[in-house]
Chains A and B, each alone.
Chain A
C-alpha cells in the first residue's frame, strides 16, 4: 500500500485563504517572502495531480514541490 505523504507546494504570490475549500486538504500559508505554501497530506497521485491542475487552472506560478513520509502518530 502506498502511504499518504505530506506535500509542500510553493506558488508565487499570495493566494487568498478562502480558496482552501478548493485545495483539497491543503493548508494555505502565506510566507514572508510573498509566496504561498500549500501544505498537507495527500492520499494518492490523483489527489496530487488534481491540486496541481487547480494551480494551473488558477494561472498560478508553481515554484516547487516537496514531499516526505507522513510522520507516524504517537
Chain B
C-alpha cells in the first residue's frame, strides 16, 4: 500500500522523434560539475522535454564523465576541489530522482517526506535517519535537522546523484526555499539539484554564478533556433511548408515551442498554409486558446469527449481512464494522442502513465466547463468518485483521498481517511491530514469519533490547547452518539478510540500544568481501560510518571514510568519509549540512585542506536541527564561534552527548554575549573533565554538555583536577597512550613542565612529541609543538604554531631560514588574529610581517599593527598564498570573522530564546518576538546598522537 502520491515520482519519458538539441545537452552536462542546475522558462518552452531527453542520454551513456575533473567532496567555498575522498574520483554511475511538485508541497514536512522518498528510491542508503525524524511523535520544529541529516548521508555517496524538482514555481513557502538554500550550500560535489520552474527561485544566484556553482538554461536558450524550428516542423510534425514559411513562423512565435507545435497541428489540415502563416499572430494565451480550439474542432467527437473528461485527472493511464469515464479502449486513445502530438506527456517507461501539458490541461478544463460535461452523460463528481475507487483498488491511498474529496463524497472520504490513519500518523503527515479534515463538512467530521480524536491530537501537537479541548469533547459526543454496536469489532474499535481520547485528555491536563488533575484522571483511566489497549495505557503511564515527579512522588514516578517504557516498546512507539527511559534516569538520579540512573541511560542509548534515532534533536535531554551524572562523578570534560552536545541538538530542534538546562548545568563545571569568564557567559546566556522564551516555572527555577549558588559563592548577597523575596521564600525557619517541593530553594536560603552569620536559623532550616527531602525520597538533595549541614555543625562548634553526621552521609553516598557534592563544598570539607579519614570504617576510608584526590592540592596548608593527581573519576568505585563508562573521559566522541579525520585530510576549520554543517566556532570547540583529550596543542601533534593511539 502506498500513502504517497506515486505519480509524483514518475519521470517523463523522452519522445522518440523529439528534436535533438546538442547545444543545450552540453550545457546540461556541465551541471555534473555544479551544485545547481536551473531550467527556467514560462510554460510551453519545452523544459520538461529537454530534461527528459538529457536524463535519457545520461542513462545511456552511463557512466558519463563530463570533462575531466571529478566532483569534489567539499564545501561551498568555491575553492578548487581538494581532499576529495578517493571513492569520489570515479563515479560508478549517475542516478536520478524525479519529483513533480504541486501547491500542497508548501507544507515543509510533506515536501521533505516526498523528497526523502524520492532520494531513497534512487539511493536506498540515504535518508533513514531523516525518515525516523519525520515520524517522531514530537515532529521537528523545523526542517533543518532533516536537511542536515540528508546532507550527511549524501556525503557518503560514491556516484553522482541528480535530484530533479519539477514545477518548483508552485513552491511559495519561505521555509522550503530556505531549506533548499541550505541544502545546496552544503551538499557534496557529487550531488546536483535540478530546479525546473517557471519562476526564478529565491536563491542567491548571483553569488553562486560567481562561484561557478550553477548552470542555467533559460528562456532564450530554450527558444527554437531557425534550424531547430525547421527540423521540428518539417521532420517531427511533417508539415509541408516552405523554408520561408518556417522562418516566418519561427519569427512570429519567437521560438516558443508550444506556439510552433499548435501551428503545426493546425497546419496539418489547413487548406492554405501561406495565409495561415501570415495570419498567425497574437499573445501566448491568445494563441493557445485560438489554436487549441481549432485543433480540438478537428478531432472526432469521441476524442473531444475523452479529452474533456480525462482532463479532470491529474495523471492517468489507460485502465484509470477506462474506470473513470466508464468505457474501454482508453489505452488505444492515449497512444493515438501521443502519436498525434496532442499534448499528452508520457511519464515513466513501463507503466503507461501520462499527464496533459499544463497549458493544454488548463484550457481543456475551462472548455469542459463551458461545454458542460453532461454531454457524455458523465458528471464531474461521478468521474472523481470512480477515479477514487480505482485508486483504492490499486492501493494508492493518497490519490484516492484527493479524488474522493474532489467528488465531495464526504462519508466515503471520512471512511477512507479513517482506515489509513495509522500509516499517515506514523509518517508525520499532520498537515496533510489537517487539510483533509478541514475539507470535510463539520457534520461528517463530528460524527466520526476517531477523526475527532485525531483532530484533537493534531491540535495538541501544535500547542493549541483550547482547540484540542474542543475536539476532545467532540470525540466523546461522537462516541456517545454511535449507533448500537453490532459486532465485537465495533466494540473494540470504540474502546480503542476511548483509550486514545483518555490519553489525549491527560496529556492536555499535563500541558496545562494541572498536576493533581492529571494524576487523578490517569489513575481512573488505568482502572477503567482494558489491559489490551497497550499503547493508550503506555502513554497514560508515561504522563502519569511526569505528573508524579512534579508532585514530588518520585518512587511512584519511577514505578509507572518503567511500566510505560515496557508497554510503549511493545506497542512499537519507539520515541515515547525512549523518553520513558530518559525520564527514568532523571527520576532515579533524584532518588540518589546514580547507578540506576546511568543504567537507564545505557538502556535508552542502546535503544536509540537500535532504532537509529541517537542523533535526533530530542536526544538533547538524554545528554543533559548524562552530563549531570558525569558531573557528580567528577568527569568534568565528559560532562561538558554532553552539555555542549545537548546545546547543538536543541538548537536544531529549536528547543529552548533543553538548552536552558544545558547552560545552567555547564555553570558548575566552569566554576569548578575556575573558568570565571565562561561561567559568567553561561549565566548571561541562561538569563537571556529566560527572558526570551516562555518556559515552564520548574525549568526556570532549576536554572535560577544554579545561578544563585554562583552568586552565593561570589558574595553577591543583595542579588540573592532579592531572589528570596521575589521567589516568595521566608528567611524565618519557623515561618517556613511549606518546605515540601522547595527543598532546593530552602537549601540556598540556609546558605544565605549562614553567610549572614545567622547560624542557628540556618541550622534549623537545614534540619527541616533535610527531613522534607528525605520524606519525599529525594536522596540526592538530602545528601547535599546534610553534607553542608556537617560544615555548619562544625562552625557551630559541635564537632561530635558534625562527625556523626559526616559518617552517616558518607555511608549513604559511598555506594553511588558521589564526588562533586563534597568537592563543591571546598576547602573546609577537604580539611574535615582529611581529619576524619583515619577514624572511618575501611570501606569509607578508601572512598574518602578518592574524594580527597578529587579535591586536588588546593593549598599548602590543607592536608596534602598522597599523590598530586589531576582530577580523576572515583577509581575505587567505578560507576558502571561493565560499560566502560569510566574510559569515557579519554575516549574521543564520534563527532570528534569525524573532525579529526577531516583534519587529517588537510581541511581548514571552515571547510570542516561546511562539510559537517556546523558553525566554525563549533569545529574549533571540538578541536579544543580533541587537543585536551590527547594532551596536545597543535593539529600536527594531534594527528601524530591520534596515529600512535590508532585512532586514525
CB-CB under 8 A for A25 and B206, given A45-B42, A49-B200, A50-B199? yes
Stretch at the interface among A6-14, A51-59, A65-73: A51-59
Kindly identify which residue among B177, B199, B204, B206 contacts A46, using a CB–CB cutoff of 8 Å: B199
A1 touches B220 (CB 8 A): yes
Looking across the interface, which residue of chain A has its beta carbon closest to that of B209?
Answer: A24
CB distance from B105 to the nearest CB of A (A): 15
- In angstroms, Cα B253 to Cα A2, docked, is 11
Q: Are A57 and B172 in contact (CB-based, < 8 A)?
A: yes
The residue of chain A having its C-beta at the shortest distance from the C-beta of B207 within the complex is A21
When the two chains form their complex, are residues A46 and B220 in contact, meaning their CB atoms are under 8 A apart? Answer: no
A contact residues around B223 at 8 Å (CB):
1-2
Residue among A44, A45, A54 making CB contact with B202, cutoff 8 Å: A54
**Secondary structure at chain B's binding surface: helix, strand, loop or mixed?**
loop
- Determine whether A62 belongs to the interface, using a CB cutoff of 8 Å to chain B: no
Question: Which residues on the A side are within 8 Å of B218 (C-beta)?
Answer: 43-44, 46-47
Q: Tell me the minimal C-beta distance from A2 to chain B in angstroms.
A: 6
How many Å lie between the Cα of A57 and that of B26 in the bound state? 34
> Considering the chains assembled together, what is the distance between the CA atoms of A46 and B206 in angstroms?
15
Question: Is the CB–CB distance between A50 and B201 below 8 Å?
Answer: yes
The interface residues of chain A lying within 8 Å CB-to-CB of B174 are 57
Q: Please encode chain A, from 24 to 62, with 1 for each CB lying within 8 Å of some chain B CB and 0 for all others.
A: 110000000000000000011111011101101100000
B199 and A53 form a contact (CB under 8 A): yes
A56 contacts across to B, CB distance below 8 A: 172
Q: Check if B202 sits within 8 Å of A49, measured CB to CB.
A: no
Tell me whether B254 is interfacial, beta carbon within 8 Å. yes
With contact pairs A24-B205, A57-B172 given, residues A47 and B220 touching in the complex (Cβ less than 8 Å): no
> Would B40 and A44 count as touching, CB distance under 8 A?
yes
Q: Is the C-beta of B198 less than 8 angstroms from some C-beta in chain A?
A: yes
Chain B residues within 8 Å of A45, by CB: 41-42, 219
> CB-CB < 8 A to B42: which residues of A?
45-46
Q: B42 — nearest CB in chain A belongs to which residue?
A: A45
What is the distance, in angstroms, from B219's C-beta to the closest C-beta of chain A? Answer: 4
Judge whether A46 and B41 touch: CB under 8 Å. Answer: yes
Contact A22 B204 (CB under 8 A): yes
- Chain B 5-48 near chain A by CB (<8 Å), digits 1 or 0: 00000000000000000000000000000000000111000000
Complex Cα spacing A62 to B528, Å:
61
Closest to A52 in B: B199
Asked whether A47 and B200 contact (CB < 8 A) given A1-B220, A1-B223, the answer is yes
Contacts of B201 in A (CB 8 A): 50
Bound-state Cα–Cα, A2 to B206, Å: 21
Is B149 an interface residue when CB atoms closer than 8 A count as contact?
no
CB distance from B172 to the nearest CB of A (A): 7
Contact with A along B846-863 (1 / 0, CB 8 A): 000000000000000000
Query: CA A70 – CA B583 in complex, angstroms?
Result: 67
B205 with A46: CB separation less than 8 A: no
Q: Output the least CB separation between A1 and chain B (Å).
A: 6
Bound together, the chains give a CA A24 to CA B203 distance in angstroms of 9
- CB closest chain-B residue, reference A4: B220
Given known contacts A21-B204, A46-B40, A46-B42, is B199 in contact with A2 (CB within 8 Å)? no
- Contact status A49-B207, CB under 8 Å: no
CB distance from B106 to the nearest CB of A (A): 12
A residues within 8 A CB of B177?
Answer: 57
Contact B206 A24 (CB under 8 A): yes
Asked if B682 lies at the interface with its beta carbon under 8 angstroms from chain A, I say no
Interface residues on B, range: 20 to 34
| Interface residue B635 (Cβ < 8 Å from any Cβ of A) | no
| A43–B220 CB distance below 8 A | yes
The contact string, 1 if C-beta is below 8 Å from chain A, for chain B 204-223, is 11110000000000111001
Q: Nearest Cβ distance between residue A52 and chain B, in whole angstroms?
A: 8
Residues from chain B with Cβ under 8 Å of A1 in the complex: 220, 223, 254-255
B199 touches A22 (CB 8 A): no
Interface centre among B199, B200, B204 (most CB of A within 10 A): B200
Q: Which of A21, A25, A56 has the most CB of B within 10 A?
A: A21
Chain B residue nearest to A50 in the complex (CB) = B200
**What's the Cα separation between A47 and B216 when bound, in Å?**
12
List chain B residues, Cβ under 8 A from A57: 172, 174, 177, 202
Residues of chain B with a CB closer than 8 A to A22's CB: 202, 204
Residue of B nearest to A43 (CB): B218
Also in contact, A24 and B254, with CB within 8 A (given A1-B220, A2-B220, A46-B40):
no
- Complex CA gap A51/B206 in Å reads 13
Residues of B within 8 A of A47 (CB): 40, 200, 218
- Which of A21, A25, A53 is close to B172, meaning CB atoms less than 8 Å apart? A53
**B562 neighbours in A (Cβ, 8 Å):** none
Residues of B within 8 A of A21 (CB): 204, 206-207
The residues of A that contact B198 with a CB separation of less than 8 Å are: 46, 49
CA distance in complex: A8, B12 (Å): 38
A2 to B42, CA, bound (A): 13
Please name the residue on chain A nearest to B222 by beta carbon: A44
Contact A53 B202 (CB under 8 A): yes
Closest to B200 in A: A50
Confirm or deny: B197 has a beta carbon within 8 angstroms of a beta carbon on chain A: yes
The reply to whether B254 and A2 contact each other, CB–CB distance below 8 Å, is: yes
CB proximity of A70 to chain B, nearest CB, Å: 14
User: Could you tell me the distance between the alpha carbons of A34 and B714 in the complex, rounded to whole angstroms?
Assistant: 53
Provide the bound-state CA to CA distance between A36 and B218, in Å. Answer: 28
Within 8 Å CB of A44, what residues of B? 40-41, 218-220
> Could you tell me if A46 and B219 are in contact, using CB atoms closer than 8 angstroms?
yes
The chain B residue sitting closest to A51, CB to CB, is B200
The CA-CA distance from A29 to B198 in the complex, in Å, is: 27
Q: How far is the CA of A25 from the CA of B210 in the complex (A)?
A: 13
Cβ-closest chain B residue relative to A47: B200
B200 cross-chain contacts in A, Cβ below 8 A:
24, 46-47, 49-51, 53
Interchain CA distance A44-B174 in the complex, whole Å: 23
**Smallest CB–CB gap between A8 and chain B, Å?**
18
CB distance from B284 to the nearest CB of A (A): 10
Bound together, the chains give a CA A25 to CA B216 distance in angstroms of 15
Chain B residue with the shortest CB-CB distance to A42:
B200
Tell me, rounded to whole Å, the shortest Cβ–Cβ distance linking A33 to chain B: 26
CA distance A13 to B172 in the complex (A): 23
A47 to B38, CA, bound (A): 12
Q: How far is the CB of B180 from chain A (nearest CB, A)?
A: 13
Task: List the B side residues contacting A46 at CB < 8 Å.
Answer: 40-42, 197-200, 218-219
Task: List chain B residues, Cβ under 8 A from A49.
Answer: 169, 198-200
Residues of B within 8 A of A2 (CB): 219-220, 223, 254
On chain A, the residues within 8 Å of B197 by CB distance are: 46
Contacting residues, chain A, for B204 (C-beta < 8 A): 21-22
Minimum Cβ distance to chain B for residue A6 (Å): 16
Min Cβ gap B42→A in Å is 5
Q: Which residues from B are CB-within-8-Å of A50? A: 40, 199-202
Min CB–CB distance A16 → chain B (angstroms): 15
- Cα distance, A24 to B197, chains bound together (Å): 16
Q: How far is the CA of A2 from the CA of B254 in the complex (A)?
A: 8
Q: Which residues of A contact B254 (CB under 8 A)?
A: 1-2
Residues of A within 8 A of B255 (CB): 1
- Of chain A, the residue at the smallest CB distance from B205 is A24
Cα(A51)–Cα(B202), bound, Å: 8
- How far apart sit A61 and B255, CA to CA, in the bound complex (Å)? 35
B53 shortest CB reach to chain A, Å: 20
- The 3 closest A-B CB pairs, nearest first, are A50-B200, A46-B40, A44-B219
28 contacts between A and B (CB under 8 A): A1-B223, A1-B255, A2-B220, A2-B254, A21-B206, A21-B207, A22-B202, A24-B200, A24-B206, A44-B41, A45-B41, A45-B42, A46-B42, A46-B198, A46-B199, A46-B200, A46-B218, A47-B40, A49-B199, A49-B200, A50-B199, A50-B200, A50-B201, A53-B172, A53-B200, A54-B202, A56-B172, A57-B177
Q: Could you list which residues of chain B lie within 8 angstroms of chain A, going by C-beta atoms?
A: 40-42, 169, 172, 174, 177, 197-202, 204-207, 218-220, 223, 254-255
With A46-B42, A46-B219 given, name 14 new contacts (CB 8 A): A1-B220, A21-B204, A22-B202, A22-B204, A24-B200, A24-B205, A43-B220, A45-B219, A46-B200, A47-B218, A49-B169, A54-B202, A57-B172, A57-B174
